[in-house]
Amino acid sequence: MRVSKPHPSPDRNADLSARYRSVREASRQLGAPLSDADATVQSMPDASPAKWHLAHTTWFFETMILEQNLRGYRAFDPQFNFLFNSYYESIGARQPRPRRGMLTRPTLDRVYAYRDHVDRAMASLMQDDIAPAVAELIELGCNHEQQHQELLLTDILHLFAQSPLRPAYKDPGPIAVGKIDGLPAAYRKFDGGVIEIGNDGEGFAFDCEGPRHRALIEPFEIADRLVTNAEWMEFMADGGYRTPLLWLSAGWATVQSEGWTAPLYWDEHDDGYWSMTLRGSQPVDPAAPVTHVSYFEADAFATWAGRRLPSEFEWEHAARAEPLKGNFVDSGRLRPAPAQAGVHGLRQIYGDVWEWTRSAFAPYPRFRPAEGAVGEYNGKFMCGQFVLRGGSCVTPLNHMRPSYRNFFPPDARWQFSGLRLAGDA
């Protein structure tokens, strides 16, 4: 489930209700530019239709909260339990993930009607005092929905990238970038020792972010900015995708089987590389952080550069000293931004792109899944995944914290994933 302290304020319900409404309205705004057809199609098995994201997050509140805690609640449509369950085996059968795009019905309008039905019921539930355990579930549901807001955008980008029309999710007009720093990355050194890792119990955190524990790190150094597209082009020009000695065995096999020669969405034109973005097809900005690269690619680049990826413990230790601000979805940019000149500290440590670490997604010491269906939230995925840190340009700012652990398989590329180099000091 999650780690958090109970809400001590007598205004807990009002605060939680405002939080709920804000998150739900953000999802509606993200879905506003989409037609019913846009929201129905599934572009690959790992992606989900926008309509499914909007319905599944609603199903979560209905199934995990309303059915157990609001007397007299009636499900909007009993069939939706099968259609919009994701992976909760303990709850029952569900539409197979690779076939979510077959759900031409319900329509997008009916999904919004479903959302309205659940929102009214949630408002009724939060009118009365609610138990701390229920409040925790509501907050979990809000953070769960924010995860799906990010997935909705990454999945729509993948869908639109399959179209020869290269449609734009948002106006492709010019974006202000400020004063760009074109200098090579500098490295900030950190001493080794025993450090504290994980959520400290203040505020919300997912279960996988705890328990807080001690970890031993050796002295290390970490780059003050993300790897750029220009640096990635140097890697490509130097045969990075053709040199097996740079790659992990599974990574090289994937390069060969998938025919990778550049980051996902890149196309070479007469005037250089272009990339599909949420603002349509755009020239690749050499100064911007490279994105849509897999763990395999990130690790190969680090080897080529004579560096390595940071561990997630090194990353968290370095990031805790930095203010939690950056290029998140709230900025409306929807693309990674170049590092700015004149900014001190570890630039782009939050926002822009999720940063691959060299750490496998594994349980922390003393980790125990929560009881009941919510115990399936994160723990069951602690195998075959790698940890990413820091959030991206499509992550909500108030969803992020230093202890946040995202995770994906090492060949995943459709997320806004990039890298920051590190080394031994």
CATH number at residue 155: 1.20.120
What mean pLDDT do residues 238-255 have?
98
Same domain, 84 and 226: no
Same domain? For 201 and 143 the reply is no
Q: Is the distance from CB of 143 to CB of 204 less than 8 angstroms?
A: yes
Report which residue type is found at 54. L
Global confidence as pTM? 0.95
Query: Both 101 and 152 in a single domain?
Result: yes
Same domain, 199 and 338: yes
Domain assignment present for residue 46? The answer is yes
**129 and 233, same structural domain?**
no
Residue 7 lies in a domain: no
The residue-averaged pLDDT of 391-401 equals 97
Residues 300 and 384 in one domain: yes
State the total domains in the chain: 2
The residue from 144, 161, 178 where one domain ends is 161
What CATH code is carried by the domain that includes residue 305?
Answer: 3.90.1580.10
Out of 161, 177, 204, a domain closes at 161
Whether 196 has a pLDDT exceeding 50, the answer reads: yes
Q: Identify whether 349 is part of a domain.
A: yes
284 falls within a domain = yes
Assess whether 230 and 311 both reside in one domain. Answer: yes
Q: 55, 80 in Cβ contact below 8 A?
A: yes
Whether residues 280 and 330 fall in one domain: yes
> Is residue 5, in this structure, part of any structural domain at all?
no
Which of 177, 184, 166 has the alpha carbon at shortest distance from 231? 184
Per residue in 81-125, pLDDT (tens digit) is: 999 999 888 889 999 999 999 999 999 999 999 999 999 999 999
Does residue 99 sit within a domain?
A: yes
Q: pLDDT per residue over 398-423, tens digit each?
A: 999 999 999 999 999 999 999 999 99
Q: Is residue 348 part of a domain?
A: yes
The residue segments making up the domain with residue 35 are 12-161
pLDDT digits (tens, 9 = 90+) for 276-316: 999 999 999 999 999 999 999 999 999 999 999 999 999 99
Domain-embedded: residue 128: yes
Residue 135: predicted pLDDT? 95
* Residue % of the chain over a pLDDT of 90: 87
DSSP β-bridge partners for residue 180: 340
Together in a domain, 356 and 405: yes
Q: Average of pLDDT values for 380-390?
A: 95
User: Quick one: pLDDT at residue 1?
Assistant: 41
Enter the tokens of residue 108: 């997008």
Q: 39: which strand partners?
A: none
Q: Are both 136 and 252 inside the same structural domain?
A: no
Give whole-number Cα distances, 187 to 49, 216, 389, in Å: 41, 21, 18
pLDDT of res. 3: 42
Q: Are 39 and 112 in a shared domain?
A: yes
Question: 389 forms bridges with which residues in the sheet?
Answer: 355
- Same domain? For 135 and 219 the reply is no
Residue 174 has a pLDDT of 63
Domain boundary among 93, 126, 161: 161
